[in-house]
Structure 1
Amino acid sequence: MRKRSARWLWAALSLPGVGCTTVVGLDKPYHPIDEPGGGGGGSDSSGGGGSGGVETGSRCAGLPATCGPSEAESCCASELVTGGTFNRGNDPAFPATVSDFRLDRFEVTLGRFRAFVDAYPGSRPAAGAGAHPLIAGSGWDAEWHERLPPDREELLKGLFCDSEGTAWVWTDEPGPNERFPMNCVSWYMAFAFCAWDGGRLPTEAELGYAAAGGAEQRPYPWSASADDVTLDPDHAVYACNGSDVAGCVIEDVLPVGSKSPLGDGLFEQADLAGGVWEWMLDWHGDYPTECVDCAVTTGGTERVMRGGGWRSAAEALHVSTRDYRTPTTRAAGIGVRCAREP
């Protein structure tokens, strides 16, 4: 694949957040596309890092075990996150409690997403699907159907979201990108995939808890302590793998789990920092001062993303960093990871 240059917007404009850092402009080199919206409407597995990973179910039937550093793990492995209380953004002013849940070990790969595309539009969710069982009104809203493509042909067009180069991972036929983290998915598409896959989008509190190692309050998912700020290319896929920023291209994406186990979090999820930004259930807004199994499900115009991506600056990977986009945004640096019930 021929490399193409792209204009870079690396200015890291940090805006004051509430108990956190909001980073804007760290990951916009490919002019994210804000689509207007179309019409229309588990079995045991060797799994992830060895703590009893569970495959996500029948949607993964037949998919080869090709993920992780040894290319021998199920790409559908889901690991238990033992609930507890932590401080959002590592700020004691904003404690949150989450119950036990499962979080996929890997970001959703192209190979997993291909099955969703093949089943489309039959894979669109029904009203109420993909809900968090402890959060009322968190399931799929029937009015969101108009934000999904009406048919498979229109869905495929949207998966080529880079206007200047070849920064999408999608290929119409299976090939070498099957283990790459799927990108160019809007929030609505991410929600729809997880619901179809038998899961849901994680809340910002859940993802933050997993990334911080719960009460350990890690600065990065792999940190050995609250004071360990080690960050280097051995732990995460970011900053285009050290390539010249003017030439950051699709070749700088790596398969999911490439930095495992060094980059794994406490609960054995890979790529909680770096890889691709991950859509959260929440609308962007101030943290609720008290939070028990909560999410911001009303009153917003932009959805939260977390974790930083393959072309992000280093500061995007810190667990206190949050970013946000309109839910119709599709960009080469944005993907998805699903949560599930324990």
Structure 2
Amino acid sequence: MWAVSCLAAAGCTTIAGIDKPYHPADGGTGGGGAGGGAVEDPCTPEEVRCRANRPQRCDEAGRWQDEAECTTEAPVCRGGACVNPPSCAALPATCGLREEESCCATTAVPGGSFHRGDDGTFPATVSDFLLDRFEVTVGRFRTFVDEYPASWPAEGAAEHPRTPGSGWDVAWDEHLPAAQAELMASLVCEELPTWTDEAGANEVLPLNCVSWYLAFAFCAWDGGRLPTEAEWHYAAVGGDEQRLYPWTTSESSATLDPSYAVYGCGMDGTCELADLPRVGSRSPRGDSRWGQADMAGSVWDWLLDSYVEEYPAECDDCAVILSDTDRTIRGGGWRSAAEVLLPSYREPRGRGNHLAGVGLRCARDP
């Protein structure tokens, strides 16, 4: 039987299978974000917190007030302050439309409800979370490699806050390369790796040829985690907007073409690495509701969940966590056919696989 872990807040177990830094559109249903001065929670003067990836400080009247928005120099709010994740600490801001955004740019995804697979019989609800705007680049991953094996995850690292037991399992240690040289060698696959042992022209390409274990370990080291399948799916369809593609806001954008996404390379067997452009190359035209680039095409994203044929019947912040099973990938890639780019499309892959079409992006807790 399939044991599907529902998040602790739900208390259940189910059997189932742009000329400046990007500002995402407002919107979403539900969630816990508060605007400046909103009296939603009692607070103690000078207390700090993060809401919707923006610091807030409690004023003398006991009301939460917004602080300055996090900038490209420190794009992630954590512990009431804007910080730069480890993977971008020494990197220039070279991502985005004008190549001046942090490659660690992160946007808040307000929680709400949607239908998985665009099927009304599979409703789901997710809580607020943060999701990287860009897929993890070669340059970001290089900082992880430079610190390896000190960047190895600890027991329980990167656990989803509402899925007990979803963090790093020490039994997975044997699936990580033992040393830095072995790690770098593992990032070469199918004669189409974006990784290079020395920094060069590929630093803003999406990292590929990375196993699920390494994807998990990187996000843990960088202060994040892998997104659940429900979180990724929700962000890709724009939550309750149930978008056909991540960028679809009107009938005119419901037809896929290469101006929206990177896909279709190599259908005739002639694909080359030069056909895979930098992250965000179709931004902002191809961005999702909350500003994520390349949610369709570029490279597939590894997800936290085990792959099961059918969605869990109930999904309140759900995640499918099974041992010794394939994991789920979504989003399609540069070598994918058009129909694969639909947010509802999903495939299984072995956790130890290193594939030229598969990369990652990290989620973070608000």
- Normalised by the length of structure 2, the TM-score is 0.77
Question: 1:74-124, CA deviations, whole angstroms, 9 ceiling, x for partnerless residues?
Answer: 100110001100000111111110000000000000000000000001111
Provide the rounded CA distance (Å) in 1 between the counterparts of 2:23 and 2:187.
31
1:83 corresponds to: 111
Question: 1:285-308, CA deviations, whole angstroms, 9 ceiling, x for partnerless residues?
Answer: 121111011100025621000000
For 2:269, what is the secondary structure of its paired residue? helix
Which structure has the bigger radius of gyration?
2
Q: Does 1:181 align with 2:206?
A: yes
Change (3 A) 1:111 1:318: same
Letter in 2 for 1:194: C
CA drift at 1:245 = 2.5
Asked whether the 8 Å contact 2:21–2:100 carries over to 1, the reply is no
Instruction: Calculate the aligned-residue CA RMSD, in Å.
Output: 1.6
CA drift at 1:253 = 0.4
Q: Does 1:204 align with 2:232?
A: no
Unaligned runs of 5+ in 1: 1-45
Provide the rounded CA distance (Å) in 1 between the counterparts of 2:365 and 2:22.
17
Letter in 2 for 1:213: G
Asked whether the 8 Å contact 2:267–2:335 carries over to 1, the reply is no
Give the counterpart of 2:359 among 323, 326, 335.
335
1:14 corresponds to: none
Letter in 1 for 2:291: E
% of aligned pairs identical? 57
1:220 corresponds to: 245
For 1:247, what is the secondary structure of its paired residue? coil
Letter in 2 for 1:250: L
Unaligned runs of 5+ in 2: 1-19, 26-68, 77-83
Change (3 A) 1:47 1:113: farther
CA drift at 1:58 = 3.7
Letter in 2 for 1:255: R
Asked whether the 8 Å contact 1:218–1:226 carries over to 2, the reply is no
Question: 1:12-58, CA deviations, whole angstroms, 9 ceiling, x for partnerless residues?
Answer: xxxxxxxxxxxxxxxxxxxxxxxxxxxxxxxxxx7534565634524
Task: Within 5 Å, give how 1:216-295 maps onto structure 2.
Answer: 216-225=241-250, 229-240=254-265, 245-285=268-308, 286-295=310-319
Task: Within 5 Å, give how 1:39-188 maps onto structure 2.
Answer: 47-49=21-23, 54-55=75-76, 56-162=84-190, 165=191, 167-188=192-213
After TM superposition, the runs of 4+ consecutive aligned structure 1 residues lying more than 6 A away are none
Higher relative contact order by CA 8 Å / sep ≥ 6: 1 or 2?
1
Matched pairs, number: 292
Change (3 A) 1:230 1:181: same
For 1:67, what is the secondary structure of its paired residue? coil
Provide the rounded CA distance (Å) in 1 between the counterparts of 2:142 and 2:318.
31
For 1:329, what is the secondary structure of its paired residue? coil
Asked whether the 8 Å contact 1:306–1:321 carries over to 2, the reply is yes
Provide the rounded CA distance (Å) in 2 between the counterparts of 1:230 and 1:184.
30
Asked whether the 8 Å contact 1:276–1:310 carries over to 2, the reply is yes
Provide the rounded CA distance (Å) in 1 between the counterparts of 2:243 and 2:21.
24
Change (3 A) 1:293 1:226: farther
Change (3 A) 1:244 1:309: closer
Provide the rounded CA distance (Å) in 2 between the counterparts of 1:110 and 1:332.
13
Give the counterpart of 1:319 among 317, 335, 343.
343
